[in-house]
Chains A and B, each alone.
Chain A
Amino acid sequence: NAGVMQNPRHLVRRRGQEARLRCSPMKGHSHVYWYRQLPEEGLKFMVYLQKENIIDESGMPKERFSAEFPKEGPSILRIQQVVRGDSAAYFCASSPFSQGISAKNIQYFGAGTRLSVL
């Protein structure tokens, strides 16, 4: 059972270009989270998606950032007109969804995409 797959692992963009980050969740997982990690910082939540539905995007900047998780295919985090401040590691995590005190709602992380904006 393959883990969470992210690609590309490294992405270099010039200011003003678009960045597309992809995330394929673990098999059987219906929920995807995107986090951003700046150097020497913890991970900061960006967006939480279910298939064809954004559940929570409270951590995502209102402009230039968007995310989707279509019925078929990977989840995509899209950053338009990148700026130097977007340089960071972007991590995707997936989890199943269950409820109750014994629920196994573990978030499994991919290896990340490291975005560098020149």
Chain B
Amino acid sequence: QQQVKQSPQSLIVQKGGISIINCAYENTAFDYFPWYQQFPGKGPALLIAIRPDVSEKKEGRFTISFNKSAKQFSLHIMDSQPGDSATYFCAASSNGGNTPLVFGKGTRLSVIA
């Protein structure tokens, strides 16, 4: 049973465009929702995270939108750049983040000039 569903599997965006990646979760006990960025041959690096007490969080070009009633959250990358080309994973955990992360299957983003 996959607890975090992520879409799309792959995404191609023009430079300067907006990249949008969506995730949905099932477990209502989840209360911490991070996004990780992974480049080939590297480990995942935390990009941005949100807790369910807010509906949106913005850090630079990256924004998380969170819909608690729909159990969905999404990552928006504004003004996408070729350097943003990577695999993005959404994840979720409970107990304020003190439990193992449950990851989505990832979205491979390619930003083309």
Contact = CB atoms under 8 A, between A and B. Distances in A.
Interface of A: 4, 6, 31, 33, 35, 40-45, 48, 56, 59, 91, 93, 95, 97-101, 103, 105-112
Given A101-B53, A108-B46, A111-B43, A45 B98 contact: no
Given A91-B44, A109-B45, A41 B105 contact: yes
Contacts of A44: 103
Contact of B101 (A40, A41, A43, A112): A43
B34 A106 contact: yes
Given A91-B43, A105-B32, A99 B105 contact: no
Contacts, number: 68
Contact of B98 (A6, A93, A105): A105
Nearest to B101: A107
Contacts of A4: 43
Contacts of B42: 111-112
20 contacts: A6-B43, A35-B101, A41-B106, A42-B103, A42-B104, A43-B89, A43-B103, A48-B99, A56-B99, A56-B100, A59-B100, A91-B43, A101-B51, A103-B97, A103-B98, A105-B98, A106-B34, A107-B34, A108-B46, A109-B43
Given A35-B101, A99-B98, A109-B43, 18 more contacts: A33-B100, A41-B105, A42-B89, A43-B89, A43-B101, A43-B103, A91-B43, A93-B101, A95-B97, A95-B98, A101-B51, A101-B53, A105-B32, A105-B97, A107-B34, A109-B36, A109-B44, A111-B42
